[in-house]
Chains A and B, each alone.
Chain A
Amino acid sequence: MTGLLEQVFNGLQLGFVYALIALGYTMVYGIIRLINFAHGDIFMVGAFVGVLGYTAWGLPFPVAVAVSMIVCAVAGVTIERLAYRPLRYAPRIAALISAIGVSIFLEYFCSLKFVFGPNYRVVTRPFEVTTFTVGGANVTNIQVVVAVVVLALLAGLQYMLYRTRIGKAMRAVSQDHDAARLMGINVDSVISATFGIGSALAAAGGVLYAVAYPQIWPFLGIMPGLKAFTAAVLGGIGSVPGAVLGAIIMGQVDVLSAAYISSQFRDAIGFSILIIVLLVRPTGLLGSRQREKV
């Protein structure tokens, strides 16, 4: 198969970015059983802030990414406080609708002229693109940067979840809110922290996405958000390694189906996976047996 290795690398780039977004979906679902539909739009905000950072504000690229992550963490925490916390123990559909509302709000608010404006903007890259060959496949330095950043963030997340107290608290709250409270954990803070971290990861994903595909607009987050959500469900929503595994698989399926089946059916095949997973194994590949969800 000519070019298979190159197609695999193409799929990895997409898969890594989806992983960052999928982690946000899965962590939030794990902790409050809510599918945060606004997550794709936090990704979009992260992309805009990061691009503004290294262009208009003249920050060096890593600093711009950090600033974008902080801004989106704050945004995520604010959204949680305003839109989700009042509905935390209400019927789940209320929070779901609230999430959809936040998503639409973010998209259209960012389309306003005094915010980001509704037009597509071409993004200048912070570094020149170079290509080199690895084993006969074309690889760009962008793919390398994406891989390195994502793997570093994943390692950081893994460390935080399993080696720190806040990570332990997150795992406890995702098992049972009341029991965690009895153990002296401030459930509200932990949930806010989860949103913050998830949003920060999405922001990093957004900046990397903008560098890889240099066009941003307020509705940028819809498609990647949907694909990442599918990835999170595929891997087992609520499971962190599941989100990453699901994202890598989704990236590969996306690219390989476009390359070897038909580029016209690419999205159809990708989303069919969502349907098949929900029918055949709703808890996903690495998910644990849970009660039914929305």
Chain B
Amino acid sequence: MKRIAVLALVLLLAATMVFSVVGCKKEDKNVIRIGLIAPMTGDASTFGTSTKNGFTMAIEEAGTTVAGLTIQLFFADDRNDATEAVNVATKLATQDKVHAIIGSVSSKCSIPVSEVAEANKVVQITPTSTNPKVTLDPERKTFVFRACFIDPFQGTVGAKFALDNLKAKKAAVMFDQGNDYTIGLANFFKEAFVAGGGVIVGWEAYGKDDVDFSAQLTKIAAAKPDVLYLPDYYNKVSLIGQQARQKGIKAPFLGGDGWDSSELDFATMDGGYFTNHYSAGDTRPIVVDWVAKYTAKYDATPDSLATLAYDATKLLLKAIETAGSNDTTAIRDALQGISLDVVSGRVSFDADGNPTKAAVILQIKDGKQVYVATVSP
């Protein structure tokens, strides 16, 4: 008797699930479906919030339609986890049938998402993923673009800054061995640093969930580096920075755009430098305007995550306008040929789907990000 009741319950649940899926919408000529994939929760959650804010502002400024098509939005949280990113991307592409995706934030998520996007002919623009493999692996994925510079450039900027400005001859590097972003950036930094006459005295790895870096840092402290390069996200970098100081490492910290968060441990990282996509203190009118309207709406200074998401969305909307339809191939072609002034600079895509952008160097000083220099490619 009990068994029949359980069986009936299971069948009822299954039936409900089947019917909810069957009620899906069909293709519609007058709709453009745009998905956003960002790490709303997890170890990069401030990135996700900023990205969503930038994206939402751009969509709101466009209104409810673009090129006569009604905009439908889909939001997905990839938790900064590659497996989750693939799951949500597959759902967006196959179930929700989006035409375009803005996302993801971190390269380790964007790379698998790009495979899904390319296979399903969904246009993808990642606002902030800097690893070259997002658009090129090894062939160009024609539907995938990015709104930011790439790590070979970023790593070189970091290395040159260390050599020329910090006068560093010995550098130590720590990276997450499971994260394409940190591995790529660390390698590009190493190449450029060594090419410029420096010596890498420490090359240590750690796992994604590691919290204890004492073994690696004791080794690095013994090698007495002039600079410690930490190309990871704000969470990890804050932890490593604290332990580094405890181990007696006095060298300044240097890092990449993963540091750009209000939740970075400003006290520990004080005096550190990082390469970034834009500076809120930039005096160009388009930046001043952007900072003002973002601050008015969200009561916070926009970081590069929000700015690049805004830029990426603006680029996508312009491409849709140019294409005039929701045909993803037409949108892709329009995007490839685009040239637009956005907040972070003038963007036009090269054959690899990458724009040519300048980098800024910011310093963490007294609880704030302070502009130091701009480096053009």
Contacts and interface: CB of A to CB of B under 8 A. Distances in A.
Interface of A: 2-3, 6-7, 10-11, 13-14, 111, 118-120, 122, 129, 131, 138, 140, 209, 212-215, 217, 219, 222-223, 254-256, 258-259, 262-264, 266-267
A237 to B, nearest CB: 24
A264 B215 CA distance: 12
30 contacts: A3-B218, A3-B221, A7-B215, A7-B218, A10-B215, A13-B212, A13-B214, A119-B45, A120-B235, A122-B263, A138-B221, A138-B247, A209-B211, A212-B212, A213-B211, A214-B242, A219-B209, A222-B209, A223-B210, A254-B215, A255-B212, A259-B215, A259-B216, A263-B205, A263-B206, A263-B215, A263-B216, A266-B206, A266-B207, A267-B207
A87 to B, nearest CB: 18
Given A3-B222, A7-B215, A118 B248 contact: no
A209 B211 CA distance: 10
A138 B45 contact: no
B239 interface: yes
A263 B43 CA distance: 22
Interface in B162-219: 177, 204-207, 209-212, 214-216, 218-219
B246 A138 contact: yes
Interface of B: 41-43, 45, 79, 177, 204-207, 209-212, 214-216, 218-219, 221-222, 235, 238-239, 242, 246-248, 263, 265
For the complex of A and B, list the 9 residue pairs with the smallest distance between their C-beta atoms, beginning with the closest. Answer: A213-B211, A258-B215, A10-B214, A118-B41, A264-B205, A259-B215, A255-B215, A263-B204, A263-B205
B218 A122 contact: no
B213 to A, nearest CB: 9
Nearest to B219: A259
A75 to B, nearest CB: 23
Nearest to A10: B214
A217 B246 CA distance: 23
B215 A256 contact: yes
Contacts of A111: 41
A80 B169 CA distance: 59
A273 to B, nearest CB: 16
Nearest to B209: A223
A189 to B, nearest CB: 31
Nearest to B235: A120
A210 to B, nearest CB: 10
B239 A213 contact: yes
B211 to A, nearest CB: 4
A13 B247 CA distance: 14
A107 to B, nearest CB: 13
Contacts of A214: 239, 242
B79 to A, nearest CB: 8
Given A120-B42, A122-B265, A223-B207, 13 more contacts: A7-B218, A10-B218, A111-B41, A119-B42, A119-B45, A120-B45, A131-B246, A138-B247, A138-B248, A212-B212, A213-B239, A258-B216, A266-B215
Nearest to A262: B205
Contacts of B238: 122, 215
Contacts of B42: 118-120
A223 B206 CA distance: 13
A219 to B, nearest CB: 8
A118 B39 CA distance: 11
Contacts of B247: 138
Nearest to B79: A118
Nearest to B211: A213
A109 to B, nearest CB: 15
B207 A14 contact: no
A223 B210 CA distance: 8
Contacts of A264: 177, 205
Given A3-B219, A140-B246, A217 B43 contact: yes
Q: Which of A214, A219, A222, A254 has most chain B Cβ within 10 Å? A: A214
Nearest to B215: A258
Contacts of A138: 218, 221, 246-248
A219 B42 CA distance: 10
Nearest to A11: B215
Contacts of B221: 3, 138
Contacts of B207: 223, 266-267
A119 B215 contact: no
Q: Which of A131, A264, A267 has most chain B Cβ within 10 Å? A: A264
B211 A215 contact: yes
Contacts of A11: 215
B246 A14 contact: no
Nearest to A217: B43
B218 A119 contact: no
A119 B234 CA distance: 13
A101 B90 CA distance: 27
B238 to A, nearest CB: 7
A156 to B, nearest CB: 26
Nearest to A219: B209
A140 B247 CA distance: 9
Contacts of B248: 131, 138
B235 A255 contact: no
Contacts of A259: 215-216, 218-219
Contacts of A215: 211, 235, 238-239
Contacts of A209: 211
Nearest to A2: B222
A255 B214 contact: yes
A111 B79 CA distance: 12
Nearest to B202: A263
Contacts of A10: 212, 214-215, 218
